[in-house]
Chains A and B, each alone.
Chain A
Amino acid sequence: MLLGTLVYGFINSCILALVALGFNLTFGISGVANFAYGAIYIFSGFLTWILLNSLGLPYLLSVLISILCASCVGLAMYYLIIIRVKGLALSEVMATFGLGLAIMELFRYFDFVGFRYNLPVFFDGSVAIGDVYIDYQRLIIVLIAVGLTLWLYLFTHHTKIGLAFRAIAQDERTALTFGIDSDRIGALSMAFGAGLAAIAAIVILPLGTIAVEGGYEVLINALAVCIVGGLGSTVGILVASVLIGYAQTFTANYLEPHWMMLVSLIAIAVVLVVKPSGLFSHQKELEERI
């Protein structure tokens, strides 16, 4: 039981990290808390399902088109909405949250409800660690979470666009004096964030069904991880994912599974009361924010 809890706690931590990476990336660079994040996650899931089942496209092609479309949604959101309210935190939250609600409720309105909306796993089968069985899809989630984290680090430290991301995150006005276009970088950060939400959706959703409510859950989990870790701090995000991931898994295994979501909500409430800027907010000043 304990080994299983430890193994599945780690997998759950990877799922939370994967879900929070895109939200954190967008906030770290453009300073925009994208409350439509959960909606983009669900949009990517449904779009992949439609491409796969209604249009009969191959799975890989459906996945690639979904990631591309989600990134375009992020890009369009920036140029059509965010650009007009950037810097006005309350307006940003209202605009993104409103858009997210509209996207998710549109799916409900058009009857995207039921157990038939699910994505196939990438590979069937499982492996055993001791007496704990892990299906391949969960292993893929772990690999993609670790791989994306490494890729993000390399991208933001060793590419021109990545360095521009880091510059804008630290001091937008100084970045402008070196020819870095803050609007272009802001739009790219929204597109990357939305693309990461799509990747998370496509690897995580095969574990269950695609449901509108899942969008709200993803937003709450992303918020919980980012609030506990400290918005914009990658180290904080990873540590918070492990803390909340294990707390959720222990709750599910030793108390009641339906209390899992309570862990995220309690974590948000406790951190906001005790240290509103997040556990790693001080470190964020010293370490990289991306």
Chain B
Amino acid sequence: MLNVSNLMVFFENALALNDFSMEVKEGQIVGIVGSNSAGKTTLMNTLSGLIIDMRIKEKRRGGERITVYGKVVFNGEDITETKPNDRVKKGIVLCRERHPIFPESDVLENLKIAGYLKKASRVREMIDYVFNLFPALIDLKSKKAGFLSGGEQQMLAVGMALVARPTLLLLDEPLLGLSPMMQNLLVEAVKGLRNNSGITVLLSEQFARPVLPMIDYGYVLENGMLMLTGTGQELMDNPEIKAAYFGV
């Protein structure tokens, strides 16, 4: 479904991703694990096309700050230079890190905005689906999103990404800042997405413990470079991972 080959991203002279290659097969949950500054968000922004948008806007102002090399292929089509809105049309939807919601709009309006490219009837269907997935949002639908708790905002953010009807859902650090209970709820919801809706999920996370058991395949990034790959179980059994992420 998604093939990334020899991806390199520079911010001026700083190398954020170095010769990174990966594959995501349809129906999988794939994890990108790495500590801070590993390059996880740069990868997610590159796959969603946000980096292309940032580069275009920088270039218009006369700057040449961002450089991207390599190739991103989605369902057989080279999308390396495709803009983010066209990637959403193709089914790639990113849920950014740190609760990407519209704080001054209420919950229902946030969900409606997320369905910008979809027909009104499909948006209504998906909003019902999101309320089934996260029933806690039903009572909050008239509340401004900026006043929700971190966990509620993350539920809303994932719900918004679902309203956009992704075939490949990119989740950038979805567990960041959540309580263990809320982390479990979100992990179960992501598993449910793959099992019940067939949505392929690529998630990045620095917390390996809750993520590795749920993924089909994982990539470990450090300082923009690929360090390890393997199934979730293989990574959990790896002594380096145990030492670095589980403190064993």
Contact = CB atoms under 8 A, between A and B. Distances in A.
B25 to A, nearest CB: 23
A173 B102 CA distance: 11
Interface stretch (A31-39, A85-93, A219-227, A252-260): A85-93
Contact of A177 (B50, B57, B104): B50
Query: Interface size class for chain B?
Result: 20 to 34
B60 A288 contact: no
Given A163-B109, A286-B104, A287-B104, A178 B114 contact: yes
A177 B95 contact: yes
Given A166-B109, A177-B95, 14 more contacts: A163-B113, A170-B102, A170-B103, A175-B102, A176-B49, A176-B85, A177-B93, A177-B96, A178-B88, A178-B114, A179-B84, A179-B88, A179-B117, A181-B83
B144 interface: yes
B89 A179 contact: yes
A178 B61 contact: no
B175 to A, nearest CB: 19
A164 B57 CA distance: 19
Contacts of A85: 61
* 6 A-B pairs with the lowest CB-CB distances in the bound complex, closest first: A179-B88, A179-B117, A174-B100, A170-B102, A179-B85, A167-B113
Contacts of A181: 83, 85
A87 B61 contact: yes
B60 A83 contact: yes
Contacts of A166: 102, 104-105, 109, 113
A275 interface: no
A286 B164 CA distance: 26
A160 B61 contact: no
A171 B102 contact: yes
B57 A87 contact: yes
A84 interface: yes
A287 B103 CA distance: 10
Interface of A: 83-88, 157, 160, 163-164, 166-167, 170-171, 173-182, 285-289
B142 to A, nearest CB: 13
Nearest to B164: A178
B46 interface: no
B104 A289 contact: yes
Contacts of A182: 53
B235 interface: no
Q: Interface SS of chain A: helix, strand, loop or mixed? A: helix
B160 interface: yes
A84 B61 contact: yes
Contacts of B100: 171, 173-174, 177
Interface string B102-116: 111100010011111
The residue among B85, B89, B161 with the most chain A CB atoms within 10 A of its own CB is B85
Contacts of A175: 102, 113
Contact of A164 (B83, B104, B113): B113
A75 B88 CA distance: 25
12 contacts: A84-B60, A86-B57, A86-B61, A170-B103, A171-B103, A173-B50, A174-B102, A177-B164, A178-B88, A178-B114, A179-B88, A289-B104
Interface of B: 48-50, 53, 57, 60-61, 83-85, 88-89, 93-96, 100-105, 109, 112-117, 144, 146, 160-161, 164
A181 B84 CA distance: 8
A288 B104 CA distance: 6
B160 A178 contact: yes
A160 B116 contact: yes
B105 A178 contact: no
Nearest to B60: A84
Contact of B116 (A84, A170, A171, A179): A179
Contact of B48 (A84, A86, A157, A177): A177
A167 B57 CA distance: 19
B95 to A, nearest CB: 7
Nearest to B58: A87
Contacts of A179: 84-85, 88-89, 116-117, 164
Contacts of A87: 57, 61
Contacts of A164: 113, 116
Nearest to B53: A176
Nearest to A176: B84
B11 to A, nearest CB: 16
A274 to B, nearest CB: 25
Contacts of B61: 84-88
A181 B82 CA distance: 13
A177 B94 CA distance: 6
B199 to A, nearest CB: 16
Contacts of A160: 116
Contacts of B85: 176, 179-181
Contacts of A177: 48, 50, 84, 88, 93-96, 100, 161, 164
